[in-house]
Amino acid sequence: MSRQVILDTETTGLSARMGDRIIEIGCVEMQSRRLSGNNWHRYVNPERKSEEGALAIHGIADDFLLDKPKFRDIAKEFIDYIRGAEIIIHNAVFDVDFLDAELELAGFGKFSTYCPSVIDTLKMAKSLHPGKRNSLNALCERYQIDNSHRTLHGAMLDAELLAEVYVSMTRGQDSLAIEVEADQPGSAAMAAWLDRPRLPVLAPTADELAAHESTLAKIEKESKGKCLWLKLGATTGSV
């Protein structure tokens, strides 16, 4: 299976187009749907202050970021890490807009140049759970993933939680087709069920067929020619 990177960012505000910047990037790597431990995490000096609303969400103080590298200083390292991976993001439009803006400011072009495949778990969750809350916290609760330590948003913590959510959402599948893997719990039981003896099919007797046809004729008469079963029988050549 292709390499997957679960990615999350924290920002100074809600709009990259209005000049808000990235202050933190967290990436978690999965190989063959297993966490590899090869993660990537950086705080970034955004060269501006966070808005009050954003600060209340992530709690990362402006002073803390003053001695951190600027995005242009880590852009090449970031690209080398994510290049060619399948990226998994919750509400991908938001993060990709910010990454596009930062990469272009640093002279590296758009994010899709390096990672053309992006899975949006928010869209996936809305499809799986229409009409329900599909925030990361809601999904953790739904899939019984412990997020009690998530008092504030943090890119690395959120990426780690999203990795667990994604695996739970896809239920061990490598594709949209359901497959039984040898090392999955319950796979032996599933294999036994697939190999079960087929049930015998008993044909009706002549008396049973006659009684069936008599019943259909009675229904046809009482419904004034609206017995659907007879119509289907005439179409298929059987009753």
**Which residues are catalytic, by number?**
153
Question: Any residues with CB less than 8 A from the CB of 33 and at least 6 apart, and which?
Answer: 1, 4, 167, 172, 174
The H helix count followed by the E strand count for the chain is: 10, 6
Burial level of 162, CB count in 10 A (0-12/13-18/19+)? buried
Q: Over the Cα atoms of the chain, what is R_g? A: 28
State the SS3 of 196-235.
CCCCCCCCCCHHHHHHHHHHHHHHHHHCCCCCHHHHHHHH
- Report in angstroms the alpha-carbon separations of 125 from 75, 135, 172: 31, 9, 16
Per-residue DSSP letter, 168 = H
